[in-house]
C-alpha cells in the first residue's frame, strides 16, 4: 500500500506532502490540535488492530473538518453501512482483496483531485508553481506579498502558515477571485473578507488567525477606502 502511494506521488503534478501515521493511538489523541484543510486527503484503514479503529479516527477528523477527503480501506466489504451510519461522508472505499492494485488506488486519487477542481465547491485559488499545482480554499488565504528583489516569487500567508510561491505578484492578481481579493495595490493582494481590523494611524492590518501586518498608513488608507473593502465590512 505504501509503495503504491509513493508511486502515485512520483507521477502526480500536484504538490502535497505525505505523512505516514504508525502511532494510531497518539494520532487519535492529538488530532484535535491539528489544522485540517478542506483539501487534505486521509487514507484510513478501518481495521487498525489498536485501541482506536479507523472509524474512531475518522470521527475525530470530521469533528474538525466536515469537507476534507476520507478514503477508507478495508478487507470487509460490509463496513460501508457502518461508515454511513456514523455520518462520516466517505469519498471512496478501497477493498483489500486479490484485485487491489496501484491502478485502483490511482483512480481514486485522480477522482479526489478532480473533485477539488469541481466548480460546485467553495472558491479556491489554483496556483501553478514550479511545475506543480497548488490549490487552496480562498477563505484560508490572508494575503500575498511581493518579495523584494525577487519579482518571480511571492509570500503567501494563510490563516495558519506561510509559503513562498514561485510566481509574480502580477500573475497572482490574475488568478485570485476578484470578488474578495483586493488587487489594485502594487506589491500586495489582500483577502478583504479575512481582515478583522484596520488601523490607519498605526499602519496595521489584522487578519483572521490574529495575524498582524505592518504597512504604511497610506497603504492601509487605500485598503479601507476601497469599495470592495467597504462592501464586505458593511
Each domain of the chain, given as residue ranges in start order, spans: 2-117, 124-233
141's enclosing H/E stretch is strand 141-147
Q: Do residues 188 and 176 make contact, with C-beta atoms less than 8 angstroms apart? A: no
d(CA 172, CA 147): 13
Q: Do residues 222 and 209 make contact, with C-beta atoms less than 8 angstroms apart? A: no
d(CA 92, CA 111): 9
For 81-90, what is the mean pLDDT? 71
124's enclosing H/E stretch is strand 124-129
d(CA 113, CA 105): 13
DSSP code of 187?
Answer: S
* Parallel/antiparallel/unpaired status of strands 124-129 and 92-95: unpaired
Grid cell for residue 65: 473538518
For 158-174, what is the mean pLDDT? 90
Q: In this structure, how many other beta carbons lie within 10 angstroms of the beta carbon of residue 198?
A: 18
Q: Decide which of 11 and 27 is more confident.
A: 27
Tell me which residue of 196, 159, 154 sits closest to 173, measured CA to CA: 154
Tell me which residue of 102, 192, 150 sits closest to 220, measured CA to CA: 192
Grid cell for residue 161: 502558515
Q: Do residues 134 and 127 make contact, with C-beta atoms less than 8 angstroms apart? A: yes
The domain at 124-233 falls in which architecture? Beta Barrel (2.40)
pLDDT in tens, 171-229: 999 999 999 999 999 999 999 999 999 999 999 999 988 889 999 999 999 999 999 99
pLDDT at 2 over 60: no
pTM of the full predicted structure?
A: 0.56
DSSP code of 14?
Answer: B
Tell me which residue of 28, 26, 213, 14 sits closest to 127, measured CA to CA: 14
d(CA 154, CA 170): 10
Q: Where does the pLDDT of residue 11 fall: very low under 50, low under 70, confident under 90, or very high at 90 and above?
A: very low
The CATH code that applies to domain 2-117 is 3.40.50.2300
In angstroms and rounded to an integer, the radius of gyration of the C-alpha atoms of the chain is 21
Amino acid at each position: 500500500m505504501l509503495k503504491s502511494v509513493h508511486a502515485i506521488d512520483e507521477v502526480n503534478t500536484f504538490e502535497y506532502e505525505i505523512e505516514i501515521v504508525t502511532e494510531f493511538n497518539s494520532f487519535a489523541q492529538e488530532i484535535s490540535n491539528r489544522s485540517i484543510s478542506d483539501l487534505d486527503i486521509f487514507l484510513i484503514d478501518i481495521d487498525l488492530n489498536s485501541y482506536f479503529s479507523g472509524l474512531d479516527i475518522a470521527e475525530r477528523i470530521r469533528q474538525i473538518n466536515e469537507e476534507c477527503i476520507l478514503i477508507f480501506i478495508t478487507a470487509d466489504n460490509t463496513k460501508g453501512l457502518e461508515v454511513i451510519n456514523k455520518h462520516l461522508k466517505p469519498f471512496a472505499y478501497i477493498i483489500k482483496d486479490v484485485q487491489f492494485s496501484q491502478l485502483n488506488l490511482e483512480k481514486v486519487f485522480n477522482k479526489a483531485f478532480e473533485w477539488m477542481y469541481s466548480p460546485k465547491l467553495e472558491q479556491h485559488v489554483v496556483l501553478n508553481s514550479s511545475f506543480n499545482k497548488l490549490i487552496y480554499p480562498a477563505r484560508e488565504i490572508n494575503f500575498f506579498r511581493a518579495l523584494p528583489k525577487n519579482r518571480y516569487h511571492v509570500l503567501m500567508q494563510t490563516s495558519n502558515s506561510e509559503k513562498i510561491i514561485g510566481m509574480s505578484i502580477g500573475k497572482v492578481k490574475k488568478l485570485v477571485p476578484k470578488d474578495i481579493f483586493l488587487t489594485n495595490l502594487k506589491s500586495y493582494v489582500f483577502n478583504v473578507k479575512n481582515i478583522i481590523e484596520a488601523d490607519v494611524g498605526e499602519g496595521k492590518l489584522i487578519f483572521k488567525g490574529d495575524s498582524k501586518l505592518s504597512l504604511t498608513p497610506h497603504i492601509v488608507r487605500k485598503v479601507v477606502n476601497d469599495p470592495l473593502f467597504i462592501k464586505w465590512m458593511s
